[in-house]
Chains A and B, each alone.
Chain A
């Protein structure tokens, strides 16, 4: 990895810790340290952003208003009361997934256990393999999705897996069962290796975490981040599927957080970032005329701008 000199620039900030970022950093890019990158975000990032990270050799996230709001709520919330839910909403391509990932980064730097579901639609639609669930008669399972998710869960939360102990005995087949008091890591490994019962393992993991999260002895904070959460209530291609997803209650007491398109300042810093990373190559795109045209064509929508700048 190349080391960059610490030059002062308008669109970058040296404050790489989400906990210390505040309104003065709005519109600036902070770098996710490369060592953290693969542990914190094995899944959950939009695919085009992952390609961008690979091309630029670094992962930079813009500090934006919705993410900061979410993080400040998380800092100040009172945990003895019932948990609050936050809903990020906005037009397509306005940056909801990225704000969610920013908040997830904050949670993992604070040492919380993060349950990040990259896309709820994947679990509900278009599944290639189905297995009728042994747990509930009317449910269907998706073994591949479940095993993928468990593998990523293991990468994200390594240090928690050995600490948490199971409170209940789980029986998978006639010959296999997991006893009480074994660490969670074993459960997850079991789910990854045995694909057939991986969805049951997912259910068991969620149940365990729910029971243990608020506990006083060695209790840890649990953050659940679900992307595409409307998929859990929308139409499913699987008939007779139980709508209540894995035991979560319905979303009623929630705090809505709107995610808007780029403001002028944010657009400026995005433009400067692309220029800095040698991404805007067309000679005309670097002029004022080209910039005005980019604003017009993309309407300051982050994903549209990204797609436009890709071939310019």
Chain B
């Protein structure tokens, strides 16, 4: 849809310039924050990359958001998680909780690593980023349920989920679980690190919730043909 519209649009800049809004004229292109793309010398570019560069020199580009950095440590999944954890726009606190969580997980794993005998050392995963990604993978549901109305009644119908939806559900479950089911005195990062480590080894409440969803979908298999898309 955007492709046909862009053909008609001219390079018009409004009198009041949109800076850092999320709604842009589709004519605007996405910014490229990664440094290595700009270090490729002229000779090694493929024809598509050359075309892209020429396009970028004529078209306006959207302003980059604050959360996007050219640093090598930038992680889009982690940024998404931070945004979901954020309350009232307070990203500093959310980012602080996540960094404390990563540090806590790393400390626990490194301590276990140093105390383990030589044979077991290779099995212990110390990188908090891989633990986070694997835990999130283990929490993602494969199939979801939708409420579809047929003949006056609503049925829970199993439907396939897109990748974004799966990722969103996994993160949402993780965050709600850590907010609700914790003791009054435990801090958020402590509970989050426990849950992530449990999800990494496929235990814990979040993977249990995922399995329950799968069971519900399996039990409602009969209604699968109610889905028309």
Contacts and interface: CB of A to CB of B under 8 A. Distances in A.
A255 interface: no
Interface string A273-297: 0000111011111010110010000
Contacts of B103: 310-311
Contact of A278 (B73, B102, B126, B128): B126
Interface stretch (B111-119, B158-166, B199-207): B111-119
A311 B106 contact: yes
Interface in B121-140: 126-129
A56 interface: yes
A126 interface: no
Contacts of B127: 281-283
A80 interface: no
B73 A55 contact: no
A263 interface: no
Interface in A69-128: none
Interface of A, secondary structure class, is helix
B193 to A, nearest CB: 12
A283 B127 CA distance: 9
Contacts, number: 48
A239 interface: no
A244 interface: no
B102 A311 contact: yes
A281 B106 contact: yes
A105 B111 CA distance: 25
B73 A57 contact: no
Interface in B53-79: 71-73
B189 to A, nearest CB: 11
Contacts of B111: 54-55, 57
A56 B106 contact: no
B115 A57 contact: yes
B110 A289 contact: no
B99 interface: yes
Contacts of A51: 107
Nearest to A294: B73
A10 interface: no
Nearest to B75: A282
A304 to B, nearest CB: 13
Nearest to A281: B127
Given A55-B107, A55-B111, A57-B115, A281 B72 contact: no
B77 to A, nearest CB: 14
Contact of B73 (A2, A54, A312): A312
Interface string A25-63: 000000000000000000000000001001111000000
B83 to A, nearest CB: 18
Contact of A281 (B71, B99, B115, B128): B128
Given A282-B129, A311-B99, A311-B102, A277 B73 contact: no
A277 B30 CA distance: 41
Nearest to B99: A311
A55 B110 contact: yes
Nearest to B74: A284
A239 B206 CA distance: 54
B20 to A, nearest CB: 24
B95 to A, nearest CB: 10
A56 B114 contact: yes
A284 B73 CA distance: 7
A73 B228 CA distance: 85
A278 B111 CA distance: 10
Interface string A142-184: 0000000000000000000000000000000000000000000
Contact of B110 (A279, A283, A293, A311): A279
A289 B72 contact: yes
A87 B114 CA distance: 37
Given A281-B126, A281-B127, A311-B106, A57 B114 contact: yes
6 shortest interchain CB distances as A-B pairs: A281-B127, A284-B72, A311-B99, A311-B102, A310-B103, A57-B114
30 contacts: A2-B114, A51-B107, A54-B111, A55-B110, A55-B111, A56-B114, A57-B114, A57-B115, A278-B110, A278-B113, A279-B106, A279-B110, A281-B106, A281-B127, A281-B128, A281-B129, A282-B73, A282-B127, A282-B129, A283-B127, A284-B73, A285-B73, A287-B72, A289-B72, A293-B71, A293-B73, A310-B106, A311-B102, A311-B103, A311-B106
Given A2-B114, A281-B106, A287-B72, 6 more contacts: A55-B111, A57-B114, A279-B106, A282-B127, A284-B72, A311-B128
